[in-house]
């Protein structure tokens, strides 16, 4: 019996999965990943004897395959053409792993690997199911400055983009690091054209004299929490105080002129003291010279 088409091979593949190994692997979007499907070390295979087949589990999409004396990969789905490869040298050593290039969010699914031996009557040699988890880092959240749609309410907006998988969003009271009630927030999470998630979260809370809020974007798969704070609550409180207790321009002018008047008075006093000291010093110097002069003349007569 000779299996010349991937379709016939698939029928066998569907019925020979009793002892399928299960594995998991994680990859970042845009990276390359290896889906492992290997026999025990020391195994040797003839590529003219083995049939190898890779497909997705749920959609049954053909990823790649190896059929002896058949180099055509016409049945490979266009999404995986030139992206999914096996190594002939590796297959000879019992390594039927799949190398998947430029991982996308759509690659997150289960992949099935089946190896059959023609010389053994197309007996199953190896069956492996690999679950691929895909991840992408979210951007650092941007938290808008709070604004007041009403006198009794403050609104914050948190935005983060280009992450995967779907994130969890939390708002934090940074005063005591407690989580705010999620009923206070409204999250919008959607897939962008790249197949990655963007998230916008709007928080509405009761206005208080002091508030310090943080936004946290959690990527569970990467065990990653990105937290950014809003403007500090003290700044908001001080701004409110200035608004509620304004200082009039007239009061500021009176205070300014008062300070200038005091400075002028100090300058006048300093100048007066300087003149008094100068007169006293001159008088003292002149008396000294008069006292010395007769003594000099007396010495001259001797």
| Count of residues in the chain | 302
Give pLDDT, residue 79.
93
Whether residue 19 has pLDDT greater than 90: no
Cis, peptide link before residue 167, omega less than 30° from 0: no
pLDDT in tens, 88-121: 999 999 999 999 999 999 999 999 999 999 999 8
More reliable by pLDDT, 222 or 284: 222
Separation of alpha carbons 131 and 134, rounded Å? 10
Separation of alpha carbons 41 and 94, rounded Å? 8
pLDDT in tens, 151-207: 788 999 999 999 999 999 999 998 888 999 999 999 999 999 999 999 999 999 988
* Strand locations in 45-196 (E): 50-56, 62-66, 84-85, 98-100, 110-117, 123-135, 142-143, 147-150, 153-163, 168-173, 178-179, 185-191
Any bridge partners for residue 179, and if so which? 172
Structural domains of the chain, with CATH: 21-135 (2.60.40.10), 142-229 (2.60.40.10)
pLDDT in tens, 238-292: 322 222 233 344 444 544 555 666 566 666 656 666 655 555 544 444 343 333 3
Backbone angles phi, psi at 259, to 5 degrees: -65, -40
Helix count and strand count (H, E) for the chain: 4, 17
Separation of alpha carbons 96 and 53, rounded Å? 9
Asked if 91 contacts 45 with a C-beta cutoff of 8 angstroms, the reply is yes
Between CA 193 and CA 205, with CA 199 as vertex, the angle to 5 degrees is 160
Lowest mean pLDDT among 123-132, 141-150, 205-214, 253-262: 253-262
**Would you say the pTM of this structure is higher than 0.75?**
no
């Amino acid at each position: 019996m000779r299996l010349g088409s991937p379709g016939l091979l698939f029928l066998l593949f569907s019925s020979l999965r009793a002892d399928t190994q299960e594995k998991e692997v994680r990859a970042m979007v845009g990276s390359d990943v290896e889906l492992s499907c290997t026999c025990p070390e020391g195994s040797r295979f003839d590529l003219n004897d083995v049939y190898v087949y890779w497909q997705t589990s749920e959609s049954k999409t053909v990823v790649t395959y190896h059929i002896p004396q058949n180099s055509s990969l016409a049945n490979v789905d266009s999404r995986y053409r030139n992206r999914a490869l096996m190594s002939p040298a590796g297959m000879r050593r019992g390594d039927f792993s799949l190398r998947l290039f430029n991982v996308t969010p759509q690659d997150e699914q289960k992949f099935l690997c089946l190896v059959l031996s023609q010389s053994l009557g197309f007996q199953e040699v190896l069956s492996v199911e690999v679950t691929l988890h895909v991840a992408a880092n979210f951007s650092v959240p941007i938290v808008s400055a709070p604004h007041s749609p009403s006198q009794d309410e403050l609104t914050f907006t948190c935005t983060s983009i280009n992450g995967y998988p779907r994130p969890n969003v939390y708002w934090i009271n940074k005063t005591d690091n407690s989580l705010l009630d999620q009923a206070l927030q409204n999250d919008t999470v959607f897939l962008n054209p790249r197949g990655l998630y963007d998230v916008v979260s709007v928080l509405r809370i009761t206005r208080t004299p002091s508030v310090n809020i943080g936004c946290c974007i959690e990527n569970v798969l990467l065990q990653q929490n990105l937290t950014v704070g809003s403007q500090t609550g003290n700044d908001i409180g001080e701004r409110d105080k200035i608004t509620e207790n304004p200082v009039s321009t007239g009061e500021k002018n009176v205070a300014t002129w008062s300070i200038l008047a005091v400075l002028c008075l100090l300058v006048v006093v300093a100048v007066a003291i300087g003149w008094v000291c100068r007169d006293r010093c001159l008088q003292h110097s002149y008396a000294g010279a008069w006292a010395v002069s007769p003594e000099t003349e007396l010495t001259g007569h001797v």
